[in-house]
Structure 1
Amino acid sequence: MNTPLFKEVAIENYTDLPTAIAAGANRIELNDNLAVGGTTVSRGVMSESSRYAAEHHIPLTVMIRPRGGNFVYNDTEIKIMEADLFSAQELGVDGVAFGALTPDNKLDTDALEQLMAAAGGMSVTFHMAFDAISPDDQPAAIDWLADHDVDRILTHGGPLTTPIDQTLTHLKTLVETASGRLIIMPGGGITVDNADHIAEVLSVKEVHGTHLLKY
């Protein structure tokens, strides 16, 4: 018997959490400001969401991102992200999603090492900042992230303006490059209608989206 597809559902704030869990989300990615791709929720939202998700035995991943826009952060922004990571850890959050790049869109390894240390054993997703990295540099980025205990990469396989059915070839290449060392989790344009097909084409077991469930 085939294992059902594992669906990580991105939500905005606490308001959508009970509905998403009731509709069958396997994991929640908790954000504020989804219109800009997601930023970090308040400590209060994080606390209540963590409690509710734990009571319902659903893992919670919290977006750690201080603002919209690019993924090039200064020292103060990295400090803010560290503080949010410590809060997430203290509140019993299962996982966190973050990313940091240099001005030339390579991994900011110094910042990422700081953030990984602050994550302190929580499950780590490198989010769609990955898609800003040049395809030529992505294999080396996968190697570094796998070597530094990142659990998964959330990726659209190209710019979000490109429909996901046109990025499947590149996504398949990323899955092959990762070779099971970490999870490549496709997202962006995956819906309840196309999720199973995309997972089958890519041979992946996890997908991410805001429209993965029937409400």
Structure 2
Amino acid sequence: MKLEFCAENCTKLAWAIKRGIHRVELCDNLAVGGTTPSIGVIRQAQAICESNQVELAVMIRPRGGDFCYSQDELSIMRFDIEQAIDQGIKQIVLGCLTPDFRIDLSACNFLLAGLEEIDITFHMAFDRIDPNYKFQSLDQLIELGVKRVLMHGINKDWSVLDNAVEINRYISYLAGRMEVMVGGGITPGNVAYIAQAVETSIFHGTKIVE
């Protein structure tokens, strides 16, 4: 089982690492679902994670709200990616959608150009994709070189357990071609039950350790 701790800046990093996490998703502004952290925060988090042999992934998202970005916003995101890589970051988290809730291939291609050596996670924007295009979207993410997708399930008011049937359909369809990580309300008290219901071993959350 692999546990990813969703961290708002560096405040609880050392605390979470001592409790056995394997990877950190570093964000700012978790109240809006997470945005890009500052370079100073990235640098400090990188030092903490490297010294403890914990993986670090950095969120690239210029604002809260939807995942439909203007060209100016995409330029900001691309610059932030390059700055993060300059700090030694090898894992990036992002997601771009069109107004009709499909993957924005143009935006993703712009952001990911030349990043073949970088580990990419497509975040929970996946849950907002039109259900009629979910399987097609998984194929598109593979073509883009995305390594894993984070999801909770289309019904945000349900628990991961309630969404397990849906999530398992995607896992079965992927057949190992891309990792699926699940998140949303996962705690030390329920992760073992979720692991029995959802056919993945990668779990994500802000309260995944205590």
Q: TM-score, normalised by structure 1?
A: 0.94
Aligned length: 210
1:180 aligns with 2:169: no
Amino acid at match of 1:17: L
Deviations 1:67-126 (A, max 9, x none): 000000000000010011001111111311000001101010011011112645221000
- Which residue, 3, 9, 14 being the options, matches 1:7? 3
Q: Which residue of 1 aligns with 2:88?
A: 92
Q: CA deviation at 1:160?
A: 2.6
- For residues 43 and 156 of structure 2, the distance between their equivalents in structure 1, rounded to whole angstroms, comes to 31
- Which residue, 131, 154, 157 being the options, matches 1:158? 154
Amino acid at match of 1:59: E
Q: Which residue of 2 aligns with 1:81?
A: 77
Amino acid at match of 2:111: L
Q: Which residue of 2 aligns with 1:125?
A: 121
The answer to whether the Cα contact below 8 Å between 1:9 and 1:211 also exists between their aligned partners in 2 is yes
Structure 2: segments with no counterpart, 5+ residues? none
CA RMSD of aligned residues (A): 1.1
- Which residue, 105, 111, 116 being the options, matches 2:112? 116
Q: Which residue of 1 aligns with 2:99?
A: 103
- 3-state DSSP of counterpart to 1:175: helix
Q: Which residue of 2 aligns with 1:141?
A: 137
- For residues 41 and 117 of structure 2, the distance between their equivalents in structure 1, rounded to whole angstroms, comes to 22
- Which residue, 167, 170, 173 being the options, matches 2:166? 170
- For residues 86 and 192 of structure 2, the distance between their equivalents in structure 1, rounded to whole angstroms, comes to 36
- Which residue, 176, 180, 202 being the options, matches 2:198? 202
Q: TM-score, normalised by structure 2?
A: 0.96
Residue identity (%): 38
